[in-house]
Amino acid sequence: MDPPDDFPLARAIRYLEFISYYEKELFLSPQTEGSKMPPIPLAKSSTSDLSTSGLDPYPPYTPHFSLQEMSETIKGCLRCDLGTGRTKFVFGVGRQDARVVFIGEGPGAEEDKRGEPFVGRAGALLNKLIESVGWQREQVYIANMVKCRPPGNRDPLPAELEACRPYLLEQLRLIQPQWLVAVGRIAGQSLLGTTAPLKQLRGRVHQFAGINLWVVYHPAALLRNENLMPEAYQDFKLLNQMVESGKATP
């Protein structure tokens, strides 16, 4: 006879079943036979140093209880070679209950130094755009597709994006946002699995994992070409209108 639902063993069994289902559905267990995401080899250098410091160079993708706990768990990650060259692990910042999550492609030089996404000139401009619609940086969540700086600020490689993607999915599961904002072409293309140019991605509401997705200019592009600023402000105005109205129609 099965134990009653309030029996501790029954609850433990249901929890373990959930963990197993979660890993299989999102292909988060690199060791699972038949997984669509093959294991990514550990970087050869620095592994022993991290191990002795108590950091796990190959942390699991399994569910976490909070963003803070997740950050502490995965900050020693060496699933791809980016980890061996980083100064600081750039996890993300903001509210765990944020309605809107901004996602860039990866940390730059200043972000790598400070361990926080979108700082420096590009970060200041992103803050200005956020504030232009009456929001504050502290009200949203800001993250990147990859959490370590690519050398020379190059675009993240497919294997690097694939290694970090489950971490982003787990962050989104914990936050449960209403809207995602892909900041720039690389983030938009990666999230949507497309090679379409930015001009085709902007101005339309997309879907990612059942969440509304809006694509905007990267602040670095706006700093290079100030003629794009009116369009950038309009993108944020439309985003704000949709978020506040609850209607996914620009």
90-245 to CATH, choices 3.40.470.10, 3.40.50.300, 3.30.910.10, 3.40.50.720: 3.40.470.10
Residue 18 has pLDDT above 80, yes or no: no
Residue 83 has pLDDT above 50, yes or no: yes
Mean pLDDT of the region 87-106 = 97
Residue 67: the pLDDT is: 97
The proportion of the chain whose per-residue pLDDT surpasses 90, expressed as a percent, equals 77
Give the three-class secondary structure for 130.
Answer: helix
Q: pTM for the complete prediction?
A: 0.80
Mean of pLDDT over the chain? 85
Choose the weakest-confidence range: 24-28, 58-62, 105-109, 186-190: 24-28
CA 29 to each of CA 19, 59, 105, 231, 235: distance values in angstroms, whole numbers, following the listed order:
11, 11, 24, 42, 38
Nearest to 165 by CA among 181, 177, 147: 147
Choose the weakest-confidence range: 28-32, 111-115, 118-122, 186-190: 28-32
- Regarding predicted confidence, which is higher, 89 or 18? 89
The pLDDT tens digits for 112-134 are: 999 999 999 999 999 999 999 99
Q: Any idea where the domains of the chain sit in the sequence?
A: 90-245
Residue 53: the pLDDT is: 59
Mean pLDDT of the region 95-102 = 97
